[in-house]
Structure 1
Amino acid sequence: MAQAFTDLGNNDEVAGLSHAEWLALLLDHEATYRNDRRLALRLRHARLRHHAIPEDVDYRAPRGLDRRLFDTLIKGDWITRHENCAIIGPTGVGKSWLACALGHKACRDNRSVLYTRLPRLIEELALAKGDGRIAARMKSLARVDLLILDDWGLEPLDGNARHHLLEILEDRYGRCSTLVTSQLPVARWHELIGDPTYADAILDRLVHNAHRLEITGESMRRHTAAVTA
């Protein structure tokens, strides 16, 4: 605010403003500064894989993206209601990018976000269990407003992975939102989890209130490569 005060004092264009108008301008500078700083902090903690924003979404790409549904997801009411989301489609169609765009919008809406690849998270939790940090790590995962689990179903889950995943979803169910991206259709998730009892419990907490954004088409990476070649 002190810097803004100095800048305004050196600006001849604001010299004719009334005291109230000048003060309002100063406060507006301060509010903008605080909002920008808060957003930067949330984005740093979110660790989004892509610098993606909703305004840059390409709806013209031939991948069957449901614009009406995605616009609804961008508004974020589903996060307010503590619902989940699944973005499903073949490799390269932009699932991770779209997930990060939704994560960026959630940060702009002053919500806490964390992005992670599910295989990496499973590895981190295994290490945390070994050195006694598992309770603190699980607590932090339970608190975040939007947890993005990328690459869901990339590899089968072992016993520890199933247990940790169930605990995460149980802690978050009805309290926070989880977004997953997967190459596999939802119908195959049960067999991927392996144990029928765990599969039923995990999917019950994840799928039944999840918005499903299903994408089709060829890899956008190949399309981009062809255009730039």
Structure 2
Amino acid sequence: MTTTSEASRYQQLRDHLTYLRLADAAEALPAVLDEAKAGQHSITATLEQLLRIEVQATETRRLAGRLRFANLPTPATLEDFDYDAQPGIDPDLIRDLASGRYLDTATNILLIGPPGVGKTMLAVGLARKVAEAGHRTYFTNAADLVARCHRAAIEGRWATTMRFYAGPAALVIDELGYLPLPAEAASSLFQVVNQRYLKSSIILTTNRPVTEWGQVLGDNTVAAALLDRLLHRSVVIDITGDSYRLRDHQARTDNLRRATQPSSATIPRSPDGQFR
């Protein structure tokens, strides 16, 4: 039977947890104490369980915050990637990159290949692993990055914008080469890359080989300087093969054709066995 003293001490304990903003531990307190009273846990084990609940809840909230900041365009994960559809990609290399060891040496990752082969999916999956490891990451495409830098220059926020792009442990720049870029694109991209050079990693996807970046950026000199910094410490993954989207479209078309085409069993025959 619970005494008045025990009830008062229990309430004080809940108040202490609430005051310390340990809301999840406070919510779990009744169940944890019931297990302790049943003799299932020692005092040390009970305290460890209570604090573990709070630590796990805190980490879940922090991860959710990092993922919101990351601005990932899809919920894709590396575990979703179909290596059978892209046999040219080494799963062991992707698993090694997923460990995040490349962040320690500010190594960049370049994913090069035609549209639809999974470059963005890999970039999103790698960025998600960075967030799950406790680091900040941010996803943008090349056109948006250039436009944001252009606005920052006009509005006098250039330094602030450069600090923003320099901050994340991994910055994803998607779709370089897909859309025409304005004249200031080369300078903006170079400034962002230069801010991060030898300090933090860039994950970049492009449909154009590096030999064409001068044409993409409209400035061979700046393109060469940008590539010099990107490739100094880098992992370059060339992806070939058919587009996932085109394969899916072809599969749906084939299925529709089979579904709408009458089988020989349903086509009327004449007495001599010939189709009418």
Matched, 1:174 2:198: yes
What is the match of residue 68 of structure 1? 92
Corresponding position of 1:188:
212
Q: Could you tell me which amino acid in structure 1 is paired with residue 81 of structure 2?
A: V
- Which residue identity is paired with 1:127? R
Alpha carbons of 1:23 and 1:125: their partners in 2 closer, same or farther (altered >3 Å)?
same
1:194 deviation in Å? 2.5
Which sections of structure 2, spanning at least 5 residues, go unmatched?
1-24, 256-276
| 1:217 aligned partner | 241
Q: What secondary structure sits across from 1:59 in the alignment?
A: coil
Q: Residues 36 and 46 of structure 2 are in contact (CA less than 8 Å); yes or no, is this contact kept in structure 1?
A: no
Amino acid at match of 1:34: T
Q: 4+ residue runs of structure 1 moved beyond 4 angstroms?
A: 10-15, 226-229
Residue type of the alignment partner of 1:183: N
Q: Which residue of 2 aligns with 1:146?
A: 170
Q: What residue is the counterpart of 1:205 in the other structure?
A: 229
TM-superposed CA distance for 1:7, in Å, is 3.9
Q: 1:22-101 to 2 correspondence within 5 Å?
A: 22-101=46-125
Distance 1:105 1:164 in 2: 27
**Identity over the aligned pairs, expressed in percent?**
33
Aligned to 2:43: 19
Letter in 2 for 1:51: P
* Inter-partner Cα distance in structure 2 for 1:14 and 1:226: 62
Partner residue in 2 for 1:111: 135
Deviations 1:171-192 (A, max 9, x none): 1001010010011122222332
- 2 CA distance for matches of 1:169 and 1:202? 7
Q: Deviations over 1:139-165 (max 9, x none)?
A: 110111100000012245444221111
Q: Is the 8 A contact 1:190 1:203 kept in 2?
A: no
TM-score normalised over the length of structure 2: 0.77
Root-mean-square deviation over aligned CA pairs: 2.0
Counterparts in 2 of 1:186 and 1:197: CA distance versus 1, 3 Å:
closer
Q: TM-score scaled by structure 1? A: 0.92
Deviations 1:17-48, CA, capped at 9 Å, x for gaps:
11111111111111111111111110000011
1:128 aligns with 2:158: no
d(CA) in 1 for partners of 2:192, 2:38: 54
How far apart in 2 are the matches of 1:134 and 1:6?
A: 53
Distance 1:84 1:119 in 2: 20
